[in-house]
Structure formats: C-alpha cells, structure tokens
Amino acid sequence: MKKSDVIKRIISVVGEDNVKINEPMSRHTSFKVGGPADIFVTPGSDLEIRDVLKIFRDNGFPVYVMGNGTNLIVRDKGIRGAVLKIYDRFNAISIHGDTLSADAGALLSCVSKQALEAGLKGIEFACGIPGTVGGAIAMNAGAYNGEIKDVVYSVDAIDNDFNIITISGPKLEFGYRISTISKYGYTALRARFKLGHGNYEDIKDRMETLTRRRKEKQPLNLPSAGSTFKRPEGHFAAKLIEDSNLKGVSVGGAEVSKMHSGFIVNNGNASASDILELINIVIDEVYKKFNVRLEPEVKIIGEE
C-alpha cells in the first residue's frame, strides 16, 4: 500500500486532527531536540492504538511508541517511519478502594497526586518523575528507593500479534530498567497499582520532601532527559562522572550539568548530535579512568 493510502487509513481510525506529517520531534521531547517524524499519530483508545499499530506494521512502516518524550533523544535527521504518541488523548485515572488504574499516557505526577487525594500511599516516590505510566512500566522507573515494580500488580498491553492481554505478577518480569513490555516489544495500555491506605498529611509531607530534594539537587530549569546513564553495578554514575572531572564539560549547547553530573542538559541551542557526542565523551572518559563502561539510560532513536 502506498504511503498516502496508509495515511488515509490511519486518519479513518484516529481522525485527521490526530495525524501530522513531518512533525518536528523537538516539540515532543524534554531535551527539545530531534528532526521530523514522517508520520506522527496521537491515538485515544485501546482499539485505536491496536488498529494503528496493525496498519503500520502490515504495510512495512517502522513504528516507535512514545509517551511524553522525557527519556528520549531523537537524532537530528528525524524518524523514517511512524511515531505513536500515547499521552494527552489517553490518560484516564480511576480509583476503586486501594486500587488505582491509570492509562499509559497518564503522567506519574498526576497519578501520585490522585493517590494523595484519595489518601493512598506507596507511590510518593514517583511524584517528580516526569514520564508517563507506559514509559514507567516499560523501564521499571524508580526514584528515592522506590520502583514501579513495588506497586504495579497488573498491566494491559498489546502483544506482537495485536492481542490485548493482561499481564500480572512474575510475568511482568520487572528488573533494573526493564520489564516484559520493553523486553518483548509490547505496547502498554494501562497499569493497576495496589496501594495502601495512609494519612493524607503524611503522604503530602513525603511528596513535598521529595520535591524539595529534587529542586535542590537537579537542574530542573534546563531541558534534559533526567538521569542520562544507568547505574553501573557497584557504582553511582554521577560520582564516576564528577570524579572524571567532567562536570561542566560541554559540546555545542550540550553540557554535563554543573549542578548534578548525572544529567546532561540543553543550554538552549543544543542539537541531538551535540548531546550524543557528549554522551560518548563521558562514556570514554569514565572508562579510561575507572574501567567502568556507562550505558545510556535515555533511549536514542532516529536516522543517523
């Protein structure tokens, strides 16, 4: 099927307003970099997501599924293929007793706030994580001694045969920055969180404390993708980078943050190439000094 015919079929599923051609990905990543995606789609339901995935894959179009782009670098030449952004049209949150259900496009910050309002504890650690539920499930996101695996008990997803399935318990295969979703290339639709009843003020105090710590220690005023590198076994990436005298080192508009060396930031005019070159410099220098090879935590996609 020709590209134009594929686009017409996609529009018939999600509506014309939810399909963009040659959409700059710099508009959709927290780093504020990235060239255009050939086709950019914002689906709004389980069936729309499933049908769009099937149309693209049946017609040989590569597809990348994203949330709100907070853990993503898109290269400067952009993406040859399609991007599905599961975010503002697919973000419902509901609470029944001590169970919170959230669509994949819901922000973790919104999930934690809804839990607070319901007097539910256990997900305070996620109040400052900027990503969506779908991304958090895929990578088992975590912060301040908490991880998604600690509170998620089941996930609805689309498997590689386009079946909508529910995965729970050990079958979620949560590990450090990995899960069944990312391991097998499934698409997360929603998660159910099992939380505990708690005192509103205690939960609020915990969230405020974590928010204050983030503001004091992280460069939240500049575009970034959060922690740039995975935690190497037995080490802390930020300490290795700082001890390699890399804090403040820059390439173009990209810089190893002077505030927190685990962050690479965009000082305002960085390209994706600047950021990627700086990532490679950090990896090489840390390896030379400590014989530890850092791995990017941020996802890197797009045309070389």
Tell me the catalytic residues: 177, 227, 297
Considering only CA atoms, which of 299, 295, 225 is closest in space to residue 260? 225
Q: Are strands 146-147 and 250-251 parallel, antiparallel or unpaired?
A: unpaired
CB 77 within 8 A of CB 67: no
Handedness of CA 68, 229, 206, 215 (dihedral sign): negative
Round to whole Å and give the CA distance between 209 and 139: 25
Handedness of CA 277, 279, 282, 283 (dihedral sign): negative
Considering only CA atoms, which of 214, 135, 228, 216 is closest in space to residue 181? 135
Contacts of 203 (CB under 8 A, 6+ apart): 115, 116, 119, 120, 121, 124
Q: Are strands 72-74 and 299-301 parallel, antiparallel or unpaired?
A: parallel
What tokens were used for 134?
């779908």
In the numeric block, the tokens 């179009």 are attached to 61
